């Protein structure tokens, strides 16, 4: 049976995800708001995290592959002195550093270790992550009581700026013993000295901010976990560009149109634009290669949904916008994404994603 085509407008929308919701929860809400099942997101945020979540609606979901690879920016608070099973505030506390160990940490010591966590580094993802191990999510294995060790992955931390270091005294519940399912069976209330490190991190796709906190705490000998995490930007799209979920729900109830960035405009902002002849548009629409772009033309991709920022840093294992062009038929239809390549010893432009399949275009549409 042929797949049912998505109906309604296609485009991208930026949502300011509230705390307490999964990224999939936001997608589910947007399906109701937009009146379509065809909704996806670029870059998962944990339930405790807030901030920028880019959603694609209908055909624009195909663009999310490239949005995922964009550089991310976060504001965060890392609490030194306490370790948790999840490396964030949602997990049980497993280790409490001594007051003496925490009091001995200086801002210079923190700055030294932050510098070591900046640049191109190898990072072991948090064991409570969605990474699959032998077909099973790592977080599921951890929650069942299994000790999971993931392999290190290359990432790039473009910036790690500490804004403040604040000492605190807190009362916490530490887990002493768990059952075979990882459920706490014995706990105690303890008073702990901690340091709250407020920071901004700009990093490649695939970076775990929880793991940065964990590694910072480990390097300082006191453990650490995240207490706050907010994604403030993906590429050049910032939280100022985002709509609150409440506002979108209110708009739906008032029968207002969803404020989508149309797929054509999104493609223009993500990629270099190439205008096609009717013959070229028809060829791409039917899966055929066309001549490459003009000789000597350098591709300068836009790394986000903002015209002012060029170039895509991307993640180490994520597609980027570099070398890809969005092509448009004479009537303005977004036809395909293409890239220049070699085929049978000739330079050609090959379609890598076709939006309008099996169509014939006219040179001068009425």
User: Residue 66: what pLDDT?
Assistant: 87
**Of 324, 297, 319, 322, which is closest to residue 311 (Cα–Cα)?**
322
pLDDT at 322 over 60: yes
How do residues 94-117 score in pLDDT, each as one tens digit?
899 999 999 999 999 999 999 999
User: Residue 140: what pLDDT?
Assistant: 60
Contact (CB, 8 A) for 314 and 329? no
**Of 275, 281, 274, which is closest to residue 299 (Cα–Cα)?**
274
Three-class SS of residue 172? Answer: strand
Contact (CB, 8 A) for 262 and 42? no
| Spatial separation of the C-alpha atoms in residues 84 and 93, rounded to whole Å | 4
> What own/partner pairs with CB < 8 Å and gap ≥ 24 does 207-210 have?
207/72, 207/123, 207/155, 207/156, 207/157, 207/315, 208/87, 208/123, 208/125, 208/126, 208/129, 209/74, 209/76, 210/46, 210/86, 210/87, 210/88, 210/126
Is the entire prediction scored with pTM above 0.85?
no
User: Residue 168: what pLDDT?
Assistant: 96
- Token code pair at residue 217: 């705490």
| Spatial separation of the C-alpha atoms in residues 82 and 72, rounded to whole Å | 26
| Spatial separation of the C-alpha atoms in residues 12 and 171, rounded to whole Å | 44
Instruction: Give the position of tokens 């702990």.
Output: 192
In Å, how far are 46, 127, 129 from 143, measured between CA atoms? Answer: 16, 10, 11
How do residues 117-131 score in pLDDT, each as one tens digit?
999 999 998 876 666
Read off the pLDDT band of 366 (50, 70, 90): low
Question: What sections of the chain are H helices per DSSP?
Answer: 23-34, 64-68, 99-103, 107-116, 138-143, 209-220, 245-253, 263-270, 278-285
Read off the pLDDT band of 182 (50, 70, 90): low
User: Residue 312: what pLDDT?
Assistant: 43
How do residues 15-35 score in pLDDT, each as one tens digit?
999 999 999 999 999 999 999
Read off the pLDDT band of 148 (50, 70, 90): low
How do residues 270-303 score in pLDDT, each as one tens digit?
888 999 999 999 999 999 999 997 543 443 333 3
| Cβ burial, residue 365 (10 Å; 0-12/13-18/19+) | exposed
Catalytic residues: 46
pLDDT at 308 over 50: no
Instruction: Give the position of tokens 């028809």.
Output: 282
The proportion of the chain whose per-residue pLDDT surpasses 90, expressed as a percent, equals 64
């Amino acid at each position: 049976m042929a797949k049912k085509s998505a109906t309604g407008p296609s485009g991208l929308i930026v949502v300011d995800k509230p705390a307490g919701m999964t990224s999939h929860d936001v997608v589910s809400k947007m399906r109701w708001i937009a009146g379509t099942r065809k909704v996806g997101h670029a870059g998962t945020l944990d339930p405790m995290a807030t901030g920028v979540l880019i959603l694609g609606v209908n055909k624009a979901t195909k663009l999310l592959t490239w949005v995922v690879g964009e550089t991310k920016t976060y504001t965060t608070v890392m609490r030194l002195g306490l370790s948790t099973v999840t490396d964030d505030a949602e997990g049980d506390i497993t280790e409490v550093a001594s007051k003496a160990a925490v009091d001995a940490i200086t801002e210079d010591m923190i700055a030294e270790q932050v510098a070591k966590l900046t640049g191109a580094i190898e990072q072991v993802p948090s064991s409570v992550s969605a990474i699959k191990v032998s077909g099973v999510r790592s977080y599921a294995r951890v929650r069942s009581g299994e000790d999971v060790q993931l392999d290190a992955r290359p990432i790039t931390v473009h910036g790690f700026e500490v804004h403040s270091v604040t000492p605190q005294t807190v009362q916490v519940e530490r887990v002493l013993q768990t059952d075979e399912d990882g459920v706490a069976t014995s706990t105690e209330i303890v008073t702990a000295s901690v340091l709250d490190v407020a920071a901004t991190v700009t990093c490649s796709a695939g970076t775990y901010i929880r793991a940065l906190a964990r590694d910072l705490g480990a390097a300082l000998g006191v453990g650490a976990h995240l207490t706050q995490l907010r994604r403030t930007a993906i590429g050049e799209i910032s939280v100022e560009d985002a709509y609150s979920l409440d506002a979108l729900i209110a708009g739906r109830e008032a029968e207002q149109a969803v404020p989508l960035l149309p797929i054509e405009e999104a493609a223009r902002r993500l990629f270099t634009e190439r205008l096609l002849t009717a013959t070229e548009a028809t060829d791409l629409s039917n899966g055929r290669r066309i001549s490459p772009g003009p000789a000597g033309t350098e591709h300068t991709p836009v790394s986000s949904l903002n015209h002012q920022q060029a170039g895509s840093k991307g993640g180490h294992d994520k597609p980027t916008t570099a070398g890809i062009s969005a092509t448009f038929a004479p009537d303005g239809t977004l036809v395909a994404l293409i890239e220049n390549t070699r085929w049978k010893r000739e330079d050609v432009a090959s379609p890598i994603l076709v939006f309008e399949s099996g169509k014939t275009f006219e040179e001068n549409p009425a």
